[in-house]
Amino acid sequence: MSAGETFGRTIQLFLVDGKPSGLRKATIHGWTGLLFVSGASAFGELTARDEVDRTGIYILSGPDPERTGSTRVYIGSGNSVAERIKQSALKRDFWETAITITTSDDDLSKGHAEFLEARLIELTAQAGRVTLDNGTQPDTSRRRLPEADVANMEQFLANLRIILPVIGLDMLKPQPRAVSQTATPVEERTTGEVHFEIRHKSGVQATAVEEEGEFIVLEGSESLTGTGHVQQSYGGLKEKLIADGVLIPHWPDQNGSKLRFAKPWSFNSPSAAAAVVLDRNSNGRIEWKVKGSKQTYHDWQQAQAAKQEAAE
């Protein structure tokens, strides 16, 4: 393996009671970090675990009651994670998932846990993917640790970046360049990416790129509205984008049938993006085409897979 390439990692996900909806234990081979994940029904089992009655950090996550379609999280730490997470859970109604993070050898100190808590809050705020329920953001510079300990904790955080998305929480993942670097002209920040477009018979046009597995509709793209189609899957998402000012009235649209993307937005699939653009349930793999051609997203993806297979 050449320099700069990344190695594969083995993540072990153990269903404690054999049920996918029950208590889960997650670890990375060769790392002492130990995560337990539960919903409300398995919360008692979670807090009863000996491994959770240790110094560490925890996360409570669930739907944001103030923002439809968004996730809210609370991050905390304690000498006994079990006790602290029980206290925090009683104070919050939004959470549906509880995550505890300790170590198999119980080697985190109070200082380590407070440093990790502060850094997690800082990184989550920077990523901007969820709403933080924490009232204040701790100053990481005040969590003073020896230089070697700081390096160890940053490596601990690097492993959390890997394992948290696997258990369903993407709160640390940085936003794609096309979304985060809006001060840079769109042509520059999407250089090297394949551009896709929708050109609808209504006159609506939209442009998107795919980056790091996310499908991003770029600012200036248009979206139909008021078509009367029932959206079973993405109607709530569109309402959220309008409420958040991502989709705004398109002037000088005379009949109010169009909206405009005021800023880029990252969707989890081409179909979600197409549904918002066309105001109806849509197969984005067919609706989106490589810009300037008739090649659909599906055909483009198949061609890329064939190229990769031939190269191997």
Write out the residue range of the structural domain in which residue 195 sits.
180-311
Q: Is 0.85 topped by the overall pTM?
A: no
226 and 144 belong to one structural domain: no
146 and 272 belong to one structural domain: no
Domain stop point among 120, 139, 166: 166
97 and 225 belong to one structural domain: no
283 and 185 belong to one structural domain: yes
63 and 41 belong to one structural domain: yes
Q: Are strands 24-28 and 11-15 parallel, antiparallel or unpaired?
A: antiparallel
How many Cα neighbours within 13 Å face the side chain of 123? 17
Is residue 36 within 8 A of residue 99, CB to CB? The reply is yes
CB-count exposure of residue 6 (10 Å: 0-12, 13-18, 19+): exposed
pLDDT tens digits, residue range 193-237?
Answer: 999 999 999 889 999 999 988 999 999 999 998 877 766 667 778
Domain stop point among 133, 166, 199: 166
193 and 262 belong to one structural domain: yes
133 and 213 belong to one structural domain: no
Residue 147 gets the label, from left (phi > 0), alpha (psi -120 to 50) or beta, of alpha
pLDDT tens digits, residue range 119-176?
Answer: 999 999 999 899 999 987 766 666 678 999 999 999 999 999 999 999 999 999 888 8
157 and 213 belong to one structural domain: no
206 and 257 belong to one structural domain: yes
pLDDT tens digits, residue range 23-76?
Answer: 999 999 999 999 999 999 999 999 999 999 999 999 999 999 887 778 999 999
Residues β-bridged to residue 131: 72
